[in-house]
């Protein structure tokens, strides 16, 4: 029997970034992963179709449920994170929706860190309320604040590894201990760190989420999200997660955890979430994101190197009152950054401009190289004044908690020449 | 979880032809049923064993009450029983001359495994043959499974038990 292949443990992170999940196309020999731009796939016969629809056999049915280009991307990210399986979605927010849909019933609660991307604060606090899913807010810097909020209806804990926009590094291991004691999964949004900097599963995460829109894709050209199943959580220990542990009416009564074992969560999000809610990624976006990931380690090195130099420069700048970047030795997160992300604290950070709201607005209006837009994790350097844009909808209290007060400017440092990045900020601050 | 090299598992799946599936369920919703149907699709002959279904037909094959009642040799015994019950089944597998004892995910009986190994059998525990087959054939990647395999050649069609062209053509990731 001709079975190629070697154990993955033999490969390092750079190799996985280029190769994991991909193999030459069996029909054509094409070496780059083809874009399977198709909606549907033929069945060999009625029995084959029945096996696929009944989940008795894996295979392609319809691109809302899965696609071969997407599948390579999923396996690649699962490998980089050290998970058992993964599921891509149309966006990071789509991935979050699918993730909670598999966990929550109306009236259930989950606990989230306040230190989150503003869009996630909205999704959890507003949109999810319509489903009867209730969020309780804890302080990401204080693991005990999560413990105090746990009770019978709590189904999960959600944190970001490096929080957007504040650049706060979260103590994943301490919070995972709270989740384990409570018998609930820990979900970590690893968007800003990427698995190059932090691998949350190694610190106790049960589910890892990504907005691949950011550093994973890395080129600011495609929206996409990912759910990675660590395979660590025992979904059948209680009846708290009926979608995973109880017979499933739309699949002849199969039980997802019993049938799919350590990849039950990823499969449930696909065959019950993606199938029925529909936020599928396009094959073309999957292709662009996959191509981006091939250079993830190289880009992240450069992003982090540039970010550190820019943060150091700003911390000495007379027009800057503070810089929140976990790789600066006097930062409150410096110790956590040394533990969780010794290779760098990412490339997104905030600083305070002297002169408050108006000074922040003036800076974003004056820069010439930085792009003023609502994204992070592009090859290009990006800048935004959250109080007047992304975090505008939040109350003043929420803004401050989310690290988006009136003087706060957020930058995402690109991979241009660092001297050019610094001189653009200097001229903008002088304006 | 016991550790097995990919080579050991590949050798098992590449050499056995007949698999007795002990504890197989008649319910289409049960993993044991999935496994039998899937392995049949890959051209393994699967013999169902379940005393409660003895004499009936399951997926086109006669069900036997136990291994010793099967009137012809089987190469591998796949055990869907709890770890304790797996001990007797494993001993029966030795007695009927099987070459491989395979205990399903979650099933581990080290003492029985040692007895089978000293009788010259290969023993795999706490694994699923369907999952392993899917992993090596590339099918696992279709659902985003981390196969832990990197492959620089296209899969060669027509070699091995599963290598029906229908399994490979047009599905993006090929087969064995
Ligand atoms: C940390 C984080 N999580 C999730 C998201 C949402 O992802 P998407 O925009 O791909 O829906 C973002 C987007 O900014 C983010 O920064």
- Give residue-wise pLDDT tens across range B102-125: 999 999 999 999 999 999 999 999
pLDDT over threshold 70, residue A179? yes
Q: What is the DSSP letter of B67?
A: G
Closest listed residue to residue A170, CA positions, set A196, A190, A195, A152: A190
Q: A428 with A370: CB under 8 angstroms? A: yes
> Burial code of B77-105, b = ≥16 C-beta within 10 A, e = fewer?
bbbbbebeebbebbebbbebebbbbbbbb
Residue B166: pLDDT band by 50, 70, 90 thresholds?
A: very low
pLDDT for B39: 93
Does residue A256 sit in the same domain as residue A340?
Answer: no
A193 CA distance to ligand 1 centroid (A)?
12
Task: Report the chain B residue with the minimal C-alpha distance to residue A23.
Answer: B151
Residues A282, A348 share a domain: no
Tokens of A132: 């009867």
pLDDT at A399 over 50: yes
Q: Is residue A5 included in any domain, yes or no?
A: no
Q: Are residues A359 and A413 in the same domain?
A: yes
**Is residue A2 in a domain?**
no
For residue B25, the chain A residues in CB contact (below 8 A) are none
C-beta atoms of A7 and B154 within 8 A:
no
What's the pLDDT band for A2 if we cut at 50, 70, 90? very low
Which residues on chain B are in Cβ contact (under 8 Å) with A23? 138, 150-155, 173-174
Last residue of a domain, one of A275, A292, A309: A292
Same-domain check for residues A314 and A284? no
The nearest CA of chain A is from the CA of B34 a distance in Å of 5
Task: List CB contacts (< 8 A) between A56 and chain B.
Answer: 28, 33-34, 37-38
Comparing alpha-carbon positions, the chain B residue that sits nearest to A80 is B146
Ligand 1 atom closest to A192 (CA) = 1
Contact B138 A23 (CB under 8 A): yes
Output the pLDDT for position A310: 98
Ligand 1 surroundings by CB, under 6 angstroms: A 91-93, 117, 119-120, 160, 164, 189, 191-192, 211, 213-214, 223, 225, 376
pLDDT tens per residue across span A68-79: 999 999 999 999
pTM (whole model) above 0.80: yes
Q: In terms of CA atoms, which chain B residue is nearest residue A57? A: B38
Residue A58's pLDDT band, with cuts at 50, 70 and 90, is confident
**DSSP string for residues in B7-62:** HHHHHHHHH--EEEEET--S-TTSHHHHHHHHHHHTT-EEEEE-GGGTTSEETTEE
Using the predicted structure, report yes or no on whether residue B172 has a pLDDT greater than 50.
Answer: no
Task: Domain B6-127: state its class.
Answer: alpha beta
- The CA-CA-CA angle for residues A412, A425, A327, to 5°, reads 50
- Domains in chain A, number: 2
pLDDT exceeds 80 at position A224: yes
Using the 3D structure, point to which of A292, A307, A324 is the last residue of a domain.
A292
CA of A192 to the centre of ligand 1 (A): 9
Domain co-membership, A79 together with A186: yes
State the residue range of the domain holding A425: 296-430
**Residue B159: pLDDT above 60?**
no
- Tell which atom from ligand 1 comes closest to the C-alpha of A191: 1
User: Is A75 in contact with B145 (Cβ distance < 8 A)?
Assistant: yes
Indicate whether A1 belongs to any domain.
no
Q: Dig out the tokens for A174 from the structure.
A: 């301490």
* pLDDT at residue A203, rounded to an integer: 98
Q: Kindly list the residues from chain B whose CB atom is less than 8 angstroms away from the CB atom of residue A29.
A: 154
Q: Is the pLDDT of residue B22 over 70?
A: yes
Task: Among A2, A56, A263, select the one facing B159 at the smallest CB separation.
Answer: A2
Q: What is the CATH number of the domain that holds A322?
A: 3.90.1150.10
Q: A4 vs B153: CB contact, 8 Å cut-off? A: yes
Final residue belonging to a domain, choices A292, A313, A348 = A292
Same-domain check for residues A258 and A355 = no
Q: Whose CA is nearest to atom 16 of ligand 1?
A: A117
- For residue A41, list chain B residues with Cβ-Cβ distance below 8 A: 170-171
Q: Hey, are the CB atoms on A21 and B141 less than 8 Å from each other? A: yes
A333 strand-pairing partners? none
Angstrom distances, CA of residue A216 to CA of A10, A87, A225, A275, A377: 23, 15, 10, 25, 8
| Domain at A51, CATH number | 3.40.640.10
The candidate with the shortest Cα–Cα distance to A225, out of A111, A121, A100, A126, is A100
Mean pLDDT of chain B: 87
Q: Are residues A125 and A231 in the same domain?
A: yes
**A146 and A73 assigned to the same domain:** yes
- Our CA angle for B109, B113, B119, nearest 5°, is 155
> Please, which pLDDT band fits residue A9 given cuts at 50, 70 and 90?
low
Residue A227 placed within a domain: yes
What is the mean pLDDT of the segment spanning A11-19?
Answer: 97
Question: In angstroms, what is the span from residue A211 Cα to ligand 1's centroid?
Answer: 5
The Cα–Cα gap between B130 and B42 comes to 10
Q: Look-up: residue for tokens 């820990």?
A: A186
CA dihedral sign, ordered B59, B62, B65, B71: negative
Rounded Cα–Cα distance for residues A233 and B34 (Å): 23
Indicate the range of A376-385, A396-405, B165-174 predicted with least confidence: B165-174
pLDDT number for residue B155: 67
Q: Are residues A248 and A164 in the same domain?
A: yes
Residue A4, pLDDT > 50, answer no
Ligand 1 probe mutation, A96, A99, A117, A123, most atoms within 8 A of CB:
A117
Q: Which residues contact B79 (CB under 8 A, 6 or more apart)?
A: B22, B23, B86, B89, B90, B101, B102, B103, B104, B107
Nearest C-alpha neighbor of A243 from the set A214, A210, A267, A217: A267
Q: How much of chain A, in percent, has pLDDT values that exceed 90?
A: 87
On whether both A324 and A233 belong to a single domain, the answer is no
Does B141 sit within 8 Å of A3, measured CB to CB? no
- Whether A270 has its CB under 8 Å from any CB of chain B: the answer is yes
Closest-CA distance of chain A to residue B149, Å: 5
Same domain, yes or no: A286 and A308: no
Check CB contact under 8 Å for B146 and A26: no
Which A positions 21-40 lie with beta carbon below 8 A of chain B?
21, 23-27, 29, 34, 36
Cβ-based contacts of B164 with chain A (< 8 Å): none
Q: In chain B, which residues have their Cβ closer than 8 Å to the Cβ of A252?
A: 28-29
Considering the domain architecture, whether residues A137 and A232 belong to the same structural domain is answered as yes
Can you give the three-state secondary structure of chain A, one letter per residue?
Answer: CCCCCCCHHHCCHHHHHHHCCCCCCCCCCCCCCCCCCCCECCCCCHHHHHHHHCCCCCCCCECCCCCHHHHHHHHHHHHHHCCCEEEEECCHHHHHHHHHHHHCCCCCEEEEECCCCHHHHHHHHCHHHHHCCEEEEECCCCHHHHHCCCCCCEEEEEEECEECCCCEECCHHHHHHHHHHHCCCEEEECCCCHHHHCCHHHHCCCEEEEECCCCCCCCCCCCCEEEEECCCCCCCCCCCCHHHHCCEHHHCCECHHHHHHHHHHHHHHHHHHHHHHCCCCCHHHHHHHHHHHHCHHHHHHHHHHHHHHHHHHHHCCCCEEEEECCCCCCCCCHHHHHHHCCCCCCCEEEEEECCHHHHHHHHHHHCCCCEECCCCCCCCCEEECHHHCCCCCCCHHHHHHCCCCCCEEEEECCCCCHHHHHHHHHHHHHC
């Amino acid at each position: 029997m001709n079975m190629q292949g070697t154990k993955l443990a033999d490969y390092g992170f750079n190799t996985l970034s280029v190769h994991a999940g991909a193999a030459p196309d069996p029909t054509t020999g094409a070496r780059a992963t083809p874009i399977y731009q198709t909606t549907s796939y033929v069945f060999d016969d009625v029995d084959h179709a029945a096996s696929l629809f009944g989940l008795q056999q894996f295979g392609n049915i319809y691109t809302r449920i899965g696609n071969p280009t997407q599948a390579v991307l999923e396996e690649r990210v699962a490998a980089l994170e050290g998970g058992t399986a993964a599921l891509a979605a149309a966006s990071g927010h789509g991935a979050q929706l699918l993730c909670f849909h598999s966990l929550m019933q109306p009236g259930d609660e989950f606990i989230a860190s306040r230190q989150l991307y503003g869009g996630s604060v909205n999704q959890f606090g507003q949109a999810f309320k319509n489903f009867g899913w209730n969020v309780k807010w804890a302080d990401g810097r204080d693991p005990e604040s999560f413990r105090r909020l746990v009770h019978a209806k709590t189904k999960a804990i959600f944190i970001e590894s490096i929080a957007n926009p504040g650049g706060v590094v979260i103590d994943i291991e301490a919070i995972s201990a709270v989740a384990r004691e409570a018998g609930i999964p820990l979900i970590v949004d690893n968007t800003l760190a990427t698995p190059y900097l932090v691998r949350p599963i190694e610190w106790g995460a049960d589910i890892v989420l990504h907005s691949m829109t950011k550093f994973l894709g890395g080129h600011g050209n495609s929206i996409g999200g990912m759910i990675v199943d660590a395979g660590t959580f025992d979904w059948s220990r209680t009846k708290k997660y009926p979608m995973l542990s109880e017979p499933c009416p739309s699949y002849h009564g199969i039980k997802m955890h019993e049938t799919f074992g350590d990849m039950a969560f990823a499969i449930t999000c696909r065959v019950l979430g993606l199938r029925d809610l529909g936020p599928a990624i396009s094959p073309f976006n999957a292709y662009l994101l996959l191509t981006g990931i091939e250079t993830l380690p190289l880009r992240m090195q450069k992003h982090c190197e540039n970010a550190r130099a820019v943060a150091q420069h700003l911390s000495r700048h007379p027009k800057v009152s503070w810089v929140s970047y976990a790789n600066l030795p006097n930062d409150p997160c410096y110790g956590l950054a040394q533990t969780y992300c010794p290779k760098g604290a990412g490339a997104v950070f905030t600083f305070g401009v002297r002169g408050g709201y108006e000074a922040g607005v003036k800076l974003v209006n004056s820069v010439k190289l930085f792009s003023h837009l609502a994204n992070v994790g592009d090859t290009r350097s990006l800048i935004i004044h959250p109080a007047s844009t992304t975090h505008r909808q939040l109350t003043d209290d929420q803004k401050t908690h989310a690290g988006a007060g009136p003087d706060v400017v957020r930058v995402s440092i690109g991979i241009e020449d660092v001297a050019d990045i610094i001189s653009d900020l200097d001229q903008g601050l002088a304006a | 979880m016991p550790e097995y090299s990919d080579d050991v598992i590949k050798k098992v799946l590449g050499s056995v032809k007949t698999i007795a599936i002990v504890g197989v369920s008649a319910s289409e919703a049960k993993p044991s049923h999935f496994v039998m149907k899937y392995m049949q699709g890959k051209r393994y002959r699967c013999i169902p064993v379940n005393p409660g279904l003895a004499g009936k037909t399951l997926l086109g094959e006669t069900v036997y009450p136990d291994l010793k009642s099967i009137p012809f040799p089987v190469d591998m015994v796949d055990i869907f029983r709890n770890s304790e019950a797996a001990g007797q089944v494993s001993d029966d597998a030795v007695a009927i001359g099987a070459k491989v004892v395979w205990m399903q995910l979650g099933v581990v009986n080290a003492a029985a495994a040692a007895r089978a190994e000293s009788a010259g059998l290969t023993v795999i525990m706490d694994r699923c043959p369907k999952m392993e087959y899917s992993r090596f054939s590339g099918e696992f990647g279709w659902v985003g499974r981390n196969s832990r395999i990197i492959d620089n050649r296209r899969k060669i069609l027509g070699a091995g038990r599963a290598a029906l062209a229908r399994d490979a053509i047009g599905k993006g990731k090929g087969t064995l």
